[in-house]
Structures are given as C-alpha cells and as structure tokens.
Amino acid sequence: MDCGAYKVQLNGGNAFSKYEEINQHIKQLNNFKTRINNKYVKDGGSSKYDVKLWVMRLNGTVDINL
C-alpha cells in the first residue's frame, strides 16, 4: 500500500485514496489470478494451481482472500 509505482503507473503520479488504491490492487491481483488459471490447466480443464490473493501493508499486516 502507498505504492509509488502504482501512483506513477496507474494514477499519473498522484496519490490514491486508500479505497482507490486497494481497489487497484484487487483488480491487478484478480487479473494475475485469471492469467495463471488460464495458462496452467490440468487435463479435464480445471486450474492446475490454487492461487491465493493477499495484500501486505507496509506495517506487516495482511489482508487475505481478496
């Protein structure tokens, strides 16, 4: 959270509100999960991996199951 790269890459260098930033992280993580699930498929069509999505804040706390 409070990621400088996100500010530059996704918001023109401007700060996000906490709500906007967590939504951007969720969007990017879900995109990643979809790409992994589509790329790595077992016979029968199900996903080969069980992808878990977590966000760790700079203070070390973790938000799980996004």
- pLDDT tens digits for range 13-52: 888 888 888 888 889 899 999 999 999 998 888 899 999 8
Where do the domains of the chain lie? 4-64
Q: What is the pTM of this model?
A: 0.72
| Encoded tokens for 63 | 């938000």
- pLDDT tens digits for range 41-62: 988 888 999 998 888 877 888 8
How does DSSP assign 1-66, residue by residue?
---HHHHHHHHTTPPPPHHHHHHHHHHHHHHHHHHHHHHSB-TTS-BSS----EEE-TTS-EEE--
